[in-house]
Amino acid sequence: MCEHSFEPLKNDLILRTAWGHHVERAPVWIMRQAGRYLPEYHEAKGGRDFFECCRNPEIASTLTLQPIERYEGLLDASIIFSDILVIPQAMGMTVEMVDKKGPHFPNPLKNPDDGQYAELMKRDVDVGTELDYVYKAITLTRKKLAGRVPLIGFCGAPWTLFCYMVEGGGTKLFIETKKWIFRYPGATKAMLQKIAALCVEYLALQVKAGAQMVQIFDSWAGELSPSSFKTFCEPYLAHIADNLPRRLKDLGLDPVPMIVFPKGAWYSIDSVCNLAYDVIGLDWTHDPAEAVKTRGKRPITFQGNADPGVLYGSHESITEVVEEMVKGFGGGKKGWIANLGHGITPMVNPEDLKFYLQEIHRLTSMENSG
């Protein structure tokens, strides 16, 4: 139990699925389900800066609820409106969101001798106070949800956050990141460990505030070779999965299902199945049936994984892709949470997402689909 009392859940399908139970149909939610493809998002956001919306619990909770209300009865989870880059902000770095360009760090980490590195390494960051606005938004959202669906909390994985901190924003070549791992591996690992500890505390406090499940987004996991993944990515994902349940126990809180999304690192799936996560998010480069074979008898639920681009396609293509996915994941009565293989992209017609959700309901509710 978290420290607040909320209305009981009316739909706990995603939690049961994540814990490995047999279910009546596959639960579904969509990464980035609150966002730019929804006209009501732009309306509620108005002229406000993106991070200003994240810091305002009233607005953040309104944005979180928008897809739940628009797709009433079709979504089985909500995800708190925020961003993975709030951790670098809490650490003391400036991050701006530039319209149509994405995140920008005016002063990224240059090298281990740059004073900023030493400064960040020695600073004791209190994610309890620095990110208090996220916990407030979570508690308010739980109240507004009134038990309709569970609320997912999240953070960025250490590796992905490190990439942003050294690149200063999005990148195609990862030049700075590669300089760090191939010139300063020790300093890189020390920073990754520092971030991992902050992730554990931040997720625990999100659960305390009311988050019922958590997801760790490792959006840049696929930029590494299999051997670099073992060195710079996986140990820090493992640290979070091993330490979050302990921290929750210390705080007197029940465990929550943990989802990891190592985007692009298809080669790592066998090994990631051995970490302590309950759910592994798969991007669309995975063949579901192959992934299921690799998983074997291990008690892991998969999440995903249609190419988000199918939502630009015809309804016939959407049906085809959903049919393929349902078949590949074994029908949808166990071990699968339906989603896309990455966040929904701008310019998608919200009615086409509705069709995708309806097709998942239709094709996983059938008698013989499991």
- Chain contacts with ligand CP3 (rule: CB under 6 A): 31-36, 50, 79, 81, 83-85, 97, 102-103, 154, 170, 217, 219, 343
Nearer CB in complex with ligand CP3: 96/320: 96
In whole angstroms, the minimum distance from the beta carbon of 49 to ligand CP3 comes to: 9
Q: Which two tokens stand for residue 29?
A: 């939610």
DSSP secondary structure string, 143-174?
A: HHHTTSS-EEEEEE-HHHHHHHHHHSB--SS-
Nearer CB in complex with ligand CP3: 134/363: 134
In whole angstroms, the minimum distance from the beta carbon of 350 to ligand CP3 comes to: 13
Nearer CB in complex with ligand CP3: 47/115: 47
In whole angstroms, the minimum distance from the beta carbon of 254 to ligand CP3 comes to: 23
Nearer CB in complex with ligand CP3: 50/184: 50
Nearer CB in complex with ligand CP3: 18/326: 18
C-alpha atoms less than 13 angstroms from C-alpha of 134 in its C-beta half-sphere: 30
State the Cα–Cα distance between residues 278 and 121, nearest whole angstrom: 31
Q: Which residue is nearest to ligand CP3 (CB)?
A: 219
State the Cα–Cα distance between residues 347 and 116, nearest whole angstrom: 39
In whole angstroms, the minimum distance from the beta carbon of 80 to ligand CP3 comes to: 7
Nearer CB in complex with ligand CP3: 39/170: 170
In whole angstroms, the minimum distance from the beta carbon of 86 to ligand CP3 comes to: 9
In whole angstroms, the minimum distance from the beta carbon of 366 to ligand CP3 comes to: 29
State the Cα–Cα distance between residues 368 and 75, nearest whole angstrom: 22
Which of these, 342, 362, 316, lies nearest to 35 by C-alpha position? 342
Nearer CB in complex with ligand CP3: 83/278: 83
162 Cα distance to chain centroid: 16
Nearer CB in complex with ligand CP3: 53/363: 53
In whole angstroms, the minimum distance from the beta carbon of 35 to ligand CP3 comes to: 4
Which of these, 166, 263, 155, 161, lies nearest to 202 by C-alpha position? 155
Nearer CB in complex with ligand CP3: 84/318: 84
Which of these, 61, 173, 191, lies nearest to 122 by C-alpha position? 191
For 131, the 3-state DSSP assignment is coil
Q: Give the CA distances from residue 233 to residues 180, 189, 261, 265, 294, in Å, rounded to whole numbers and listed in that order.
A: 14, 10, 12, 10, 20
DSSP 343: P
In whole angstroms, the minimum distance from the beta carbon of 34 to ligand CP3 comes to: 4
Q: Which two tokens stand for residue 283?
A: 């991007």
In whole angstroms, the minimum distance from the beta carbon of 221 to ligand CP3 comes to: 10
Nearer CB in complex with ligand CP3: 59/244: 59
Which residues of the chain form beta strands (DSSP E)? 78-79, 96-98, 102-104, 151-156, 213-218, 258-262, 279-281, 301-306, 336-340
Which of these, 208, 216, 81, 54, lies nearest to 144 by C-alpha position? 81
C-alpha atoms less than 13 angstroms from C-alpha of 147 in its C-beta half-sphere: 6
In whole angstroms, the minimum distance from the beta carbon of 347 to ligand CP3 comes to: 12
State the Cα–Cα distance between residues 117 and 93, nearest whole angstrom: 11
